[in-house]
Amino acid sequence: MTTACSALWALAPAVLLALCALEPLQKGGTKDKEKKGGTPPKAAAVVPVLQPWKGKLEDAKASAKERNVPILVHVILEAEESNDQYREKILSDADLVKRSAGALVIVANNGSHERKRIEVVVDGEKTTREVCAVYPMFDACAQHQAPWDEIYRDYHEDDGDLKCPQTIVLAPDGTEAGRINTSNVPEPGEIGALVVAAIAKAGPGLTEDQLALVKRRLEEGRRLAADAKWVDAWKSWTAVLAITQKSPFAEEARREEPKALAGMQAELERIAALLVPGTAAKAYADLTRFATELAGTPLEKDVAARLRKAEADKAIQPEIKAWRLSNEADALLREANDLTDGGDAKKAEKVVRRLLGARYAGTPAQETARKLWPEIAAEVGATPPK
């Protein structure tokens, strides 16, 4: 060994000790950085949960048609190796669960299993419930057994055999959009591709919550239209179209919306025709209220223009001015009553004195105030009615 090598070898223990001493400092420095606002640890990814249909195949088809969504069917035979592999590999695949979220998913299995208790979170609270031990996405085995007989009826081979495991994808109208019936376990991506293609072809669909909301809005629209409450009916139809554009529900809303709009237009014309001397005050009041109802509708600008036109019409300006003054006095009377009922006598008196002023002379609200507060009326020089 050379002198130089001997020197380096002699230094080695010292170097190692120095490195060991630095390591905790480096680790501590990293922790300090994290504490002082360094890169936070990544949040745990949310694992999608499979939420399958829990009923008959025909009912699933009816629901899928209403919602305009495809159906993904997993057919899994009980107690057979490749079927068990399918259950473990396919049903738990997070990407497939995510890609099939826009479809109605059926898991059909003919077996009966033990039950087990699992912990779940409901409305933010932890609780436990009993589920099927093999298919814990079902509360009871009857739910995954429910579509089995219909699936066998519709998809068995000519020799009577139902190949399992099997994957079927149906379009919203119930026609077959894809099928894998090799009795082998396919790749999750192969199934996912079929589902994504079916969803894309079907177009936008509805969730179960959206379907319930659409049905409720349609029922409201029909009832309101029957009562000639055109503005609210129009709002119901547009609410449906805001949720769905491609469904039988959208077709009804699109058909009925113009009728509601025509009813709104007819009501606007009826009120506007009364903006003439003798009926202008009531017509202007009705038009003002109608303008509030029409906010956000296609007639919003039209009604605003008619209000401006009425206000500029010299022939009816006196009537409109009198109505506005009376309306202003009514608001003061309501305020005085509210303050009195609330026990604030001092503020109530201040409002009453304002209402009893010369500006509101001759208004119905001032006459009422004189009767309700005769002492204040006497003080401000008002003469109570005989």
pLDDT value of position 41: 59
pLDDT value of position 49: 86
221 and 173 in one domain?
A: no
221 and 106 in one domain?
A: no
For the chain, what is the largest distance between any 2 Cα atoms, rounded to a whole number of angstroms? Answer: 132
pLDDT value of position 121: 84
pLDDT value of position 20: 41
Count of domains observed in the chain:
3
196 and 128 in one domain?
A: yes
| Final residue belonging to a domain, choices 180, 202, 224 | 202
89 and 217 in one domain?
A: no
pLDDT value of position 180: 97
pLDDT value of position 38: 56
254 and 168 in one domain?
A: no
In a domain, 153, yes or no: yes
pLDDT value of position 37: 53
| Segments of the chain scoring below 50 in pLDDT | 1-35, 382, 384-386
| Final residue belonging to a domain, choices 182, 202, 222 | 202
pLDDT value of position 226: 97
| Final residue belonging to a domain, choices 299, 315, 331 | 315
What pTM was estimated for this model as a whole? Answer: 0.68
In a domain, 284, yes or no: yes
pLDDT value of position 7: 39
Residue 224 domain boundaries: 208-315
191 and 165 in one domain?
A: yes
Rounded to the nearest 5°, which phi and psi values hold at 114? -65, 165
In a domain, 384, yes or no: no
In a domain, 38, yes or no: no
pLDDT value of position 81: 95
In a domain, 30, yes or no: no
